[in-house]
Amino acid sequence: MIKSLDPRITRAEIELTNTIAPLEENDQWETYEVFHQKKRGDQHMHVGIVHAAHPEMALLFAKEQYGRRGQSVNIWVVKTRDVYTTDYEDSDIFDTVPEKMFREAGGYKVMEKINRYKKEHKI
Amino acid sequence: MNTATIKELLYKVADDLLIIGHRHSEWTGLGPILEEDISFSSMAQDKIGQSQALFQLLYKLGEPEADTNAFTRNANQFCNAQFVELPNDEYDFSTVRHFLYDHADQLRFEMLAHSSYEPLAKLARKVKGELKYHVFHANTWMVKLSQGTEESRARMQSALNASWNYALGLFEESKFEKELIAAKVFEGEVALKSKWLSAIIPFIEKAGLKLPPEKEWNPVNGGRKNFHTEHLELLVKEMGEVFRVEPHSQW
């Protein structure tokens, strides 16, 4: 057990254990999701995963697995377990009732107004 | 500045890169995990590529073509430091060597980026990014393995002890040292070694390892003057095997 240098933690008797336990044989490090950015200003895109012992190592590996062809300017790694996801069983939440014309751009008769304006001003 | 002086400098840097590149490549397929295997192999390719670029500079100075130069010389014609020819042993030694060597390599190229010998300065600027990654990789593993378990720490310390005097041999001085410095081609091995010590010591401390006491520092020199361990002969034989069988084959 690690004894904290912070007296408040020592008083609270919180057990500080080393969170990095040695791997068992044939065990794997946890995975990190890798996102790369092709150009500064572009969105980062998900490109795959790497196994790593800690974030810095994940960056090392991500660079070689996904960035070595010289097509990246930046890489993000995120622990897979820190990614929250919807369930495929719930994919019907993305369905929407098609009759809601007021939600569609076409629901607004804007084009008509635009065309009338254009005609009036001879644009 | 006569070309013999430049050639000597180019040869030692090229040979270090070629030999360590070959040693690193011996880990391909055997690395501790897939991702690390790929990373380490990729760095091995970088090293060989860097050596190739230097052999091309030598070719322009009248030396044999890059492949011929790399693959047909005998061990006693190489001027790499003995450190880089030692067998890989386990991953502890390979990691420590990678750490000690790559810091020296990066700093050497940083110095060479300001060389008055423009072709070399240009090359040094070109490989900057590769070397930065190699050092980042080395630092990460050096610290991580040293802080793992009791066993991993002990192994890293013993690998560091075993490497140390060989690593000091990277800074064996050339007989042209003064001329190189005067002509601003290269600031010299003494300056490089001092920069190297300042660079590596913080990481060694962070890793919780200890350098051998200074009175025990005893550089293993000779490599630059073509004296080598028996390991280089085997390496060179294997490395050039295919080329020697069919020197004119096209790849």
- How large is the ipTM? 0.79
What percent of chain A has a predicted confidence (pLDDT) above 90? 45
DSSP string, B66-102: HHHHHHHS-GGG----HHHHS---SHHHHHHHHHHHH
Mean pLDDT (chain A, rounded): 81
Q: Can you give the pLDDT at residue B165?
A: 98
Q: Can you give the pLDDT at residue B173?
A: 96
pLDDT digits (tens, 9 = 90+) for B202-226: 999 999 999 999 999 999 999 999 9
Q: Which residues contact A102 (CB under 8 A, 6 or more apart)?
A: none
B109-119 mean pLDDT: 97
Other Cβ atoms less than 10 A from the Cβ of B231: the count is: 15
Q: Which residues contact B187 (CB under 8 A, 6 or more apart)?
A: B111, B181
To the nearest whole Å, the CA of B140 is away from the closest chain A CA by 7
A18, A61, A63, A75: best mutation site toward chain B, by most B Cβ within 10 Å? Answer: A61
Give the integer Cα–Cα distance in Å for A122 and A20: 72
Partners of A78 in the β-ladder: A33
Q: Can you give the pLDDT at residue A1?
A: 43
To the nearest whole Å, the CA of A44 is away from the closest chain B CA by 21
Chain A residue nearest residue B42, CA to CA: A64
Q: A35: helix, coil or strand?
A: strand
Residue B96 confidence class, pLDDT cut points 50, 70, 90: very high
Establish if A81 belongs to a structural domain.
Answer: yes
B235-250 mean pLDDT: 88
Q: Can you give the pLDDT at residue A9?
A: 55
Identify the weakest region by mean pLDDT among A109-113, B40-44, B86-90.
A109-113
Contacts of A29 in chain B (CB under 8 A): 33
First to last CA, chain B: 37
CA A81 to mean position of chain CA atoms: 11
Contacts of A68 in chain B (CB under 8 A): 42
Mean pLDDT (chain B, rounded): 95
What percent of chain A has a predicted confidence (pLDDT) above 70? 73
* The pLDDT of residue A27 is above 60: yes
Q: What is the CA radius of gyration of chain B?
A: 18
Chain B residue nearest residue A27, CA to CA: B33
* The pLDDT of residue A20 is above 80: no
- Contact flag B140-A57 (C-beta cutoff 8 Å): yes
Nearest to B35 among A56, A65, A68 (CB): A65
Chain B residue nearest residue A68, CA to CA: B42
- Is residue A34 within 8 A of residue A66, CB to CB? The reply is yes
To the nearest whole Å, the CA of B163 is away from the closest chain A CA by 24
- Is residue B156 within 8 A of residue B92, CB to CB? The reply is yes
Domain count for chain A: 1
Give the integer Cα–Cα distance in Å for B68 and A102: 75
* The pLDDT of residue B71 is above 90: yes
Residue A3 confidence class, pLDDT cut points 50, 70, 90: low
Tell me the CATH number of domain B3-214+223-245, given options 1.10.390.10, 1.10.3080.10, 1.20.1260.10, 3.40.50.11810. 1.20.1260.10
Residue A106 confidence class, pLDDT cut points 50, 70, 90: low
pLDDT digits (tens, 9 = 90+) for A52-102: 999 999 999 999 999 877 789 999 999 999 999 999 998 888 887 777 776
Q: Can you give the pLDDT at residue B86?
A: 97
B171-187 mean pLDDT: 96
To the nearest whole Å, the CA of A52 is away from the closest chain B CA by 8
Residue A110 confidence class, pLDDT cut points 50, 70, 90: confident
Task: Name the phi and psi angles at B86, rounded to 5.
Answer: -60, 145
Q: Can you give the pLDDT at residue A44?
A: 95
* The pLDDT of residue B176 is above 80: yes
Q: B233: helix, coil or strand?
A: helix
Q: Which domain holds residue A115?
A: 28-120
Q: Which residues of B touch A (CB under 8 A)?
A: 33-36, 38-39, 42, 133, 136-137, 140-141, 144, 148-149
Contacts of A24 in chain B (CB under 8 A): none
Q: Can you give the pLDDT at residue B95?
A: 97
Task: Name the phi and psi angles at B245, rounded to 5.
Answer: -70, -45
Establish if A78 belongs to a structural domain.
Answer: yes
* The pLDDT of residue B100 is above 60: yes
What percent of chain B has a predicted confidence (pLDDT) above 90? 93
Q: Can you give the pLDDT at residue A5?
A: 61
Q: Which helix (H) or strand (E) holds B52?
A: helix B34-60
What percent of chain B has a predicted confidence (pLDDT) above 70? 99
What's the CATH code of the domain at A34? Answer: 3.10.20.520
To the nearest whole Å, the CA of B104 is away from the closest chain A CA by 20
Establish if A11 belongs to a structural domain.
Answer: no
Establish if A52 belongs to a structural domain.
Answer: yes
pTM of the shown model: 0.83
Contacts of A50 in chain B (CB under 8 A): 35
* The pLDDT of residue A16 is above 60: no
Partners of A76 in the β-ladder: A35
- Is residue B108 within 8 A of residue B128, CB to CB? The reply is no
Residue B196 confidence class, pLDDT cut points 50, 70, 90: very high
Residue B248 confidence class, pLDDT cut points 50, 70, 90: confident
Q: Can you give the pLDDT at residue A17?
A: 54
Q: Which residues contact B85 (CB under 8 A, 6 or more apart)?
A: B19, B23, B223, B228, B229, B231, B232, B235
